[in-house]
Amino acid sequence: MKRLFIPARILSAVLFMALLTTGCESQLNRERIIGRWELISIESEINGVPDPTGDIAHFDSFVYYEFKSDSTYILNEGGNIETGTWTLRDSIIGTLLNGLEDDSVNYQWYHITEIDDSIMISNSITESPYGKLTDIFKYKKITK
């Protein structure tokens, strides 16, 4: 089975301030986030230019986030389980891996750009040696 490195693994240097400056038209509420969200696609850009080598359209394994009402989450990357806590600030969701100090540096921050009852789209921005890397994650809600 091919190891899949996604959100929590490849996005270690998220630019929190860049995410805060990109506004969202409406504030999200926690109830819309709670549930299990299956990752269905990732699109990547480098300096605003699509990078087809970073896109993932089909997966060899099942990947999902489960956000619970008690502010805990489970990330399942093809059987590799990560647990922690999550928080929501306007249109920014933050995940904190269990065992890490609770400060903004240790959180993974994702800007929710679109959400409805069945689809959530978020992005993350990382500085890399090649420039600004933007990953756009599309999730499908599979349980409430």
pTM (two decimals): 0.70
Q: What is the pLDDT of residue 60?
A: 58
pLDDT of residue 37: 92
Architecture of domain 7-143: Beta Barrel (2.40)
Check residue 99 and give its pLDDT. 87
How far is CA 131 from each of CA 33, 47, 88, 143, rounded to the nearest angstrom? 31, 6, 28, 37
On whether the CB atoms of residues 93 and 110 are closer than 8 A, the answer is: yes
Phi, psi of 17 (to 5 degrees): -65, -35
Residue 86: per-residue pLDDT: 93
Spatial distance between the Cα atoms of 118 and 98, rounded to a whole number of angstroms:
28
Q: What is the pLDDT of residue 120?
A: 83
The predicted pLDDT at position 58 comes to 46
**Mean pLDDT in runs of 10 for the chain (144 residues)?**
41 31 52 90 85 60 89 91 91 86 79 80 80 85 83
Q: What is the pLDDT of residue 34?
A: 92
Domain extents in the chain:
7-143
